Amino acid sequence: MSASNHRLIVISNRLPVRLRAAPRGWRAEKSSGGLATAMNPILRRGGGEWIGWPGESAKIGDPARQQIIDQWKSADGLVSVEIPPETADHFYEGYSNQTLWPLFHHFPSQLTFDPKGWAAYVAANKLFRDAAVSQYREGDLLWVHDYQLMLLPKLLRESLPDAAVGFFLHIPFPSSEVFRVLPEREELLEGVLGADLVAFQTYTHLQHFRSSLRRVLGFESRLNEVEIGGRTVKLDALPIGIAPQAFTAFLGKTETQRHIESLRQRYQGRKLLLAVDRMDYTKGIPERLRAYRRLLERAPDLRAKVVLLQVAVPSREGISSYATLRRQVNELVGEINGQFATPDWTPVVYIRRGISRAELVALYAVADVAWVTPLRDGMNLVAKEYVACTKDRDGVLILSEFAGAAEEMGEALIVNPYDENRAGAAIQTALALPEAERHRRMAALEEGVVRNNVFAWSEQFLAMLESAAANRGDAPSDRPAALDVARLLAAYQSASRHLLFLDYDGSLVGFHNRPEDASPPPELLAVLKSLAACPNNSVMLLSGRKRTDLDRWFGDVRGLWMGAEHGALLRRADSPDWEPLRPGYSRDWVDRVRPVLQHFVDRTRGSFIEEKEYSLVWHYRMSESKFGDWLAQELVAMLEDMLAETELRAIRGRKIVEVRPGWLHKGSVARRMVELCGPADFQLALGDDRTDEDLFAALDASAWTVHVGAGRSRARFAVPGPAEVLPILERLSDLSRAS
Ligand code: GDG
């Protein structure tokens, strides 16, 4: 558990044990999955409670069953969530395992939409909520696990607004292209965002999640956080580890030693290739068997010298695609053995049942090669367990590039499991590796497995969760309060130095279809002149526009500071010249990015590119609104990938997408302006779009930051639209003249 004294409540679909109806009464069976393997040692070490579904819902009410459940609760802190059988089927086998599981592993072809699935999923998540709420005591940390409970963080947030809620996804988060296939995509994302901390196995999964936030919800996030409803949700990649000692401890046991001995004898003179998987189509079992067959065909010298031992633990047997997989694997094993076996050699030894930990550890210890090649996997613990158990660091790990583990286990032989030729060839490479090389790789892998163990993982998660929960409310409220004009005027009047930042389009004037049509009306020019002329004022017009527009319209407003292109260019109050914020900046990227924008112009009638000195802008104000918004989202996603390694950023504004260097934003120029003009005891910033958010963020907390228009903003205050702004400026100017 964490270093602190908070109690931990783990919430996952399954408890680490499950009930099984036995011929006489009931028995409790240990769960075989990765989550149980990971969380068991943590709770055992730190105490706390585990809330989950005990299984066998059809027998709810059976007194003997109930007795076990009661005992679990009092003796082991295991709290059972009773899910009525009808709901359980559609929730677990239906929506969780036939919709979310295939889709999150990029198997849309295995996807089925159970018509009752979603309602059951919602209902089941609510049952977990009820259980958690009934167990919760102030200060507890609630740790929600995995794809079956994606709605739970939000449900908990609604019931327990102050609780620390963390969410960890054990399986991959899919690419946003795949994720958005889900009809309930918004609800799932919003559900997860109820947490204070959302963590994934790898950065790739985290990036996929962020891209779905953008594409599905239109939320912009930073690498490690996203703001929602005035809360900050922390995001992170925390690869899960194992409890190495829970495995190595078995190495010394007599039972394990007996197994090791007998395996050694049985496979003497042969190389043992080991595969251990839940029987699941994501684990790549048929692909492995085919690669093995190909290898035996191509390399006859290997025959009788290798044995593939495949353990496949039955899983989700009620789902038809799993039955199909089982048949397929049976057939392949039969074919390979039929084709190559000799009286004293069986090429594939196939174990289709769970084996004991002692047997498993013995297999890990004697296997010459672990062949871990899932087609897609959140992490894959088998890879780590093998590394922990290899005897004398002699063994080779072959690992699929699509397992989360590949992102941290670079010393393995990394293969593409779909490439059956090369996956087979990797076996040859593994068997030919010199001893010193095997040791070197295994030692490096082992070091990582021991260091990033499951305790380090959970401690990190829980420490982050505590701090995320403690800072949850620090996000600026994203619904600004209506501006109290009288208070603003009073503050202005009582201050001696005034600094005003005014955005132009959308803030001082409304929008026009073509940017060049938005010239300032005379009354606006008049008020700017008057404000800029007052010696106690420094007034900056800070706009995304080109300097030529600003010169043309405001060039003769004396005393006015101007920032063009979001402040890339600065014109001081006392000078007709523009100075660059970053002298010597090269814009040679423009030729690379322009064709991408042009492609969007070609697809969107009425849209066009505006070319500025520091940026390129795609405007789509005149195109069909929904379509334009959708394309803009696509464009930003595409550009973000394309520009990831550069200093350029793609930013959405009001009906525009702008590409410009990351350092260029209104916040930088605002800070520069404060330096140049000196301190002011009254600061006002007015703006309407995302570019103004940087400005608001850069100013002191006491500044009068005002968002023009409806919607979210980090500004403290808001006014309905540009029409309300002019009268306010006029009253400020009256006050200036009067003083
Ligand atoms: C999910 C994610 C992620 C397997 N057969 C036997 C047995 N096992 C144990 C293994 C290992 C666990 O089951 C399987 O873990 P995986 O990580 O391979 O896979 P999932 O169950 O799909 O787990 C996965 C994991 O969550 C943790 O975050 O890594 O990506 O899909 O511990 O040793 N154990 C015994 N007998 C068996 O026959 N005793």
Cβ within 8 Å of residue 141, ≥6 positions away: 2, 6, 7, 8, 9, 164, 166, 462, 465, 466, 469
The number of the ligand 1 atom at minimal distance from the alpha carbon of 378 is 30
Centroid of ligand 1 to alpha carbon of 334 (angstroms): 26
Residue nearest to atom 34 of ligand 1 (CA): 32
Inter-residue contact 118 to 188 (CB < 8 Å): no
CA-closest candidate to residue 413, choices 385, 381, 379, 438: 438
Residue of 250, 381, 407, 449 best suited for mutating to test ligand 1, as the one with most atoms within 8 Å of CB: 381
503, 549, 692, 694: the active-site residue: 503
The model's pLDDT over 494-552, given as tens digits with 9 standing for 90+, comes to: 999 999 999 999 999 988 777 778 889 999 999 999 999 999 999 999 999 999 999 99
3 state DSSP class of 388: helix
Ligand 1 nearest-atom number relative to CA 280: 22
Nearest alpha-carbon partner for 560 in 677, 698, 695: 677
Give the per-residue pLDDT at 477.
60
Q: Which residue of 39, 276, 357 sits with most ligand 1 atoms within 8 Å of its CB, as the best mutation to test the pocket? A: 276
pLDDT of residue 16: 87
Give me the domains of the chain, ranges plus CATH numbers. 8-237 (3.40.50.2000), 244-451 (3.40.50.2000), 478-581+664-738 (3.40.50.1000), 590-659 (3.30.70.1020)
What does the block give as tokens for 191?
């559900």
Rounded CA-CA distance 361/358 in Å is 5
Please tell me the predicted confidence (pLDDT) of residue 265: 96
Sheet with 141-145: list strands edge to edge: 78-80, 49-53, 8-14, 141-145, 164-168, 197-200, 231-237, 225-228
655 C-alpha to center of ligand 1: Å?
A: 48
Per-residue burial over 192-228, b = 16 or more CB atoms within 10 Å of its CB, e = otherwise: bbbbbbbbbbbebbbbbbbbbbbbbbebebeeebbbb
Distance CA 284, CA 426 (A): 16
Pocket of ligand 1 (CB under 6 A): 32-35, 37-38, 170-171, 240, 276, 278, 311, 313, 354-355, 357, 360, 377-382, 385
| Cα–Cα nearest to 357, from 402, 327, 313 | 313
The atom of ligand 1 lying closest to the CA of 32 is 13
Relative to the CA of 381, which ligand 1 atom is closest?
Answer: 17
Q: Is the dihedral of CA 49, 54, 59, 64 positive or negative?
A: negative
**pLDDT computed for residue 3 by the predictor:** 47
Q: Whose CA is nearest to atom 25 of ligand 1?
A: 34
CA 120/CA 130 separation, integer angstroms: 15
377 Cα to the center of ligand 1, angstroms: 10
The protein residue with its alpha carbon nearest to ligand 1, atom 19, reads 34
Structure tokens of 592? 């690379």
Please give the backbone phi and psi of residue 233, each rounded to the nearest 5 degrees, phi first. -105, 120
Give me the pLDDT at residue 386, please.
Answer: 98
Q: State the CB neighbour count (10 A cutoff) for residue 338.
A: 9
Sheet holding 481-482, edge to edge: 481-482, 717-719, 704-708, 682-687, 498-502, 537-542, 560-564, 569-571, 578-580
Instruction: List the chain residues with pLDDT less than 70.
Output: 1-4, 32-34, 474-478, 624-625, 739
Work out whether strand 49-53 and strand 26-30 pair parallel, antiparallel, or are unpaired.
unpaired
Please give the single-letter amino acid code of residue 87.
T
What is the whole-number distance in angstroms between the Cα of residue 68 and the centre of ligand 1? 26
**Residue 503 a catalytic site member:** yes
Half-sphere exposure in the Cβ direction for 514 (13 Å, CA): 3
Token pair of 485 as six digits:
């004009």
* Crossing angle (nearest 10°) for helices 454-470 and 34-46: 70
Per-residue burial over 31-58, b = 16 or more CB atoms within 10 Å of its CB, e = otherwise: bebbbbbbbbbbbeeeebbbbbbbbbbe
Contacts 24+ apart (CB under 8 A), 294-298: 294/420, 294/421, 294/424, 295/424, 295/425, 295/427, 295/428, 296/336, 296/339, 296/340, 296/347, 298/424
CA distance 385 to 201: 17
Q: In ligand 1, which atom is closest to the CA atom of 403?
A: 30
Say whether pTM exceeds 0.85: no
Give the pairing of strands 197-200 and 8-14: unpaired
Mutate to test the pocket of ligand 1, among 30, 35, 37, 144 (most ligand atoms within 8 A of CB): 37
Q: Spell out a b/e string for 251-268, using b for 16 or more CB atoms within 10 Å of the CB, else e.
A: beeeebeebbeebeeebe
